[in-house]
Structure 1
Amino acid sequence: MSDNVLDHIPALRAYARSLCKHGQDADDLVQETLLRAIEHADKYQSGTYMRAWLFTIMRNRFYTNVRKAARERTGSEDCVSGQLVSQPTQEWHLRHQELWDQLARMPRHYREAIILVSVLGESYLRAAEILECDIGTIKSRVNRARGLLKHALEPEF
């Protein structure tokens, strides 16, 4: 376990992408998380799990931003600058996109659990700490999320 914040940036970026719909929003969330971690570095207890502390900051920051965005509608849905000009044609990209689309459609509590455990490699215990729920709840959410993904992505014969 590293207490160096820089060692956790790839995991933060992956978790941010699971929370945000747009890549730029995910990058902004990582930046806000790092800024908040620097501002509150005195509250971090050395020797504890830095990654879980950072994920908790990110999750709280994300929900704060969601509440703030709900109050401040700025017309971002009408903005064309975030739309892709041309779609990639590679098969792997399409399958990857299908996976992220299905993740985006599933309930947030399932998505957060499966991203933490299956993508970022967190233990069930760490995921339970980050999401502030019981370990049995995490196991159930991951299992249900896997079932939803399998059903949605399996080719029908």
Structure 2
Amino acid sequence: MSDNVLHHIPALRAYARSLCGRQEDPDDLVQETLLRAIEHADKYQPGTHMRAWLFTIMRNRFYTNVRKSARERTGSEDCVSDKPISQATQEWHLRHQEMWDQLGRIPVHYREAIVLVSVLGESYIRAAEILDCDIGTIKSRVNRARTMLKRALEPEF
């Protein structure tokens, strides 16, 4: 496992997108995570899993931001600049968007587990460390999330 933070940026971006959805800019969350990691570099223990450490920082930063934004209401929901100018016409883009929309609708504890394991390729053990729960809980959450997504995305016959 590499202790070079730069190797983990693509995974951090993917995890940030799963946490933020359309609410915030995921790159801002990645930047905040990296800043926190630099500020607290003395707390990192060489030989431990850098990626799990960074994911934990990101998750904690995200929930701190959520609590803070609940107190600070802005006019971002009414902002016209957040609206797309034109819709993409490619079917693959629409299916991809539909999948992310459905992913955003499942409960957050299921979404975090499936993104860590299925999208980012984390092991169940590492995901359990990041989310601070038992490995059996992670397996159950991933299975339930897959079932929810499958039901939501498959056409009914």
TM-score range, shorter chain: over 0.9
Matched, 1:25 2:25: yes
SS at match of 2:25: helix
Q: How high is the TM-score relative to the length of structure 2? A: 0.98
Looking at structure 1, the residues matched to 127 and 24 of structure 2 have their Cα atoms a distance apart, in angstroms, of 25
Match of 1:96 in 2: 96
- Tell me the CA shift for residue 24 of structure 1: 5.7
Aligned-pair RMSD on alpha carbons? Answer: 1.0
- One-letter amino acid of the counterpart of residue 141, structure 1: R
Looking at structure 2, the residues matched to 109 and 23 of structure 1 have their Cα atoms a distance apart, in angstroms, of 17
Match of 1:108 in 2: 108
- One-letter amino acid of the counterpart of residue 89, structure 2: T
Looking at structure 1, the residues matched to 9 and 59 of structure 2 have their Cα atoms a distance apart, in angstroms, of 15
Match of 2:61 in 1: 61
- Tell me the CA shift for residue 119 of structure 1: 0.3
Give the aligned length: 157
Looking at structure 1, the residues matched to 84 and 30 of structure 2 have their Cα atoms a distance apart, in angstroms, of 22
Looking at structure 2, the residues matched to 111 and 126 of structure 1 have their Cα atoms a distance apart, in angstroms, of 16
Match of 2:132 in 1: 132
Q: Deviations over 1:38-77 (max 9, x none)?
A: 1100100011000000000000000000000000001111
- One-letter amino acid of the counterpart of residue 152, structure 1: A
- Tell me the CA shift for residue 22 of structure 1: 2.8
Residue correspondence of structure 1 range 32-43 to structure 2 within 5 A:
32-43=32-43
Looking at structure 1, the residues matched to 136 and 21 of structure 2 have their Cα atoms a distance apart, in angstroms, of 28
> Does structure 2 retain, via aligned residues, the 8 Å contact 1:36–1:57?
yes
> Does structure 2 retain, via aligned residues, the 8 Å contact 1:17–1:23?
no
Identity of aligned residues (%): 85
- Tell me the CA shift for residue 21 of structure 1: 2.2
Runs of 4+ in 1 over 2 A off after TM superposition: 21-24
Unaligned runs of 5+ in 1: none
- Tell me the CA shift for residue 155 of structure 1: 1.8
- One-letter amino acid of the counterpart of residue 147, structure 1: T
Unaligned runs of 5+ in 2: none
Looking at structure 2, the residues matched to 10 and 73 of structure 1 have their Cα atoms a distance apart, in angstroms, of 31
